[in-house]
């Protein structure tokens, strides 16, 4: 049923990252895989009436799941901690234990991946993308992008057109 559609959606995400790798593809693939395995485990446990012990890193899984839904509007770890009703510190410990990086790092990588997709696969202007991701104004997005990639948005788009995929 619905589970299979969700599994397929997640596997397509992984395939996209494998076919068009970017600097942060590894982190995204790992995150999506962990999430996929967690929901498959949940479904299996329900199907066979097994006790579903909450894994120690339950919050990390939920954080990744919530980012998929809210990345365009919520870009602070505190926003996600509030949604999960845990402290930022608890969320960060959970993410660090599971992924080996901070919640902030994971959030920035997820946001960056989403912005890269917009830059490469839509005809939106920097201003439109900036607005869509709730940046106060376009220079904020441009500064974030440059800090994360070392490139301007335009340089990134040009490099991609010329076959440079970093």
Residue 156 within any structural domain of the chain: yes
Q: Do 141 and 128 meet the contact criterion of CB atoms below 8 Å apart?
A: no
| Nearest in space to 135 (alpha carbons), one of 126, 123, 124 | 126
pLDDT at 50: 72
Q: How many domains does the chain have?
A: 1
Cα separation, 3 vs 11, whole angstroms? 12
Q: Is residue 115 part of a domain?
A: yes
Q: Give the CATH number for residue 13.
A: 1.10.10.60
Q: How many Cα neighbours within 13 Å face the side chain of 33?
A: 12
- pTM equals 0.68
Instruction: Tell me whether residue 166 is in a domain.
Output: no
DSSP string, 85-135: TS-HHHHHHHHHHHHSS-HHHHHHHHHHHHHHHHHHHS---HHHHHHHTT-
Print the domain residue range for 47: 2-161
Q: How high is the pLDDT of residue 81?
A: 96
Output the CA–CA distances (angstroms, integers) from residue 104 to 19, 107, 113, 164, in the order listed.
26, 5, 14, 27
Decide if 93 is inside a domain.
yes
pLDDT tens digit at each of 166 positions of the chain: 688 898 999 999 999 988 888 878 887 888 888 888 888 888 888 888 776 655 556 899 899 989 988 999 999 999 999 999 999 999 999 999 888 899 999 999 999 999 998 998 889 999 999 999 999 999 999 999 999 999 999 999 999 888 887 6
């Amino acid at each position: 049923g619905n589970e299979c559609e969700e599994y397929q959606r997640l596997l397509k995400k992984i395939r996209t990252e494998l076919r068009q790798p970017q600097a942060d593809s590894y982190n995204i693939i790992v995150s999506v895989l962990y999430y996929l395995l967690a929901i498959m485990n949940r479904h299996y446990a329900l199907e066979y009436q097994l006790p579903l012990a909450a894994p120690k890193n339950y919050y990390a899984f939920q954080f990744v799941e919530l980012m998929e839904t809210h990345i365009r509007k919520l870009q602070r770890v505190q926003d996600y901690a509030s949604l999960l009703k845990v402290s930022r510190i608890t969320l960060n410990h959970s993410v660090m234990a599971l992924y080996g990086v901070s919640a902030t790092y994971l959030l920035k990588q997820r946001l960056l991946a989403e912005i890269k997709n917009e830059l490469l696969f839509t005809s939106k202007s920097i201003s439109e993308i900036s607005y869509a991701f709730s940046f106060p104004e376009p220079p904020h997005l441009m500064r974030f992008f440059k800090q994360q990639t070392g490139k301007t948005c335009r340089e990134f788009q040009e490099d991609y057109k010329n076959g440079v995929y970093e």
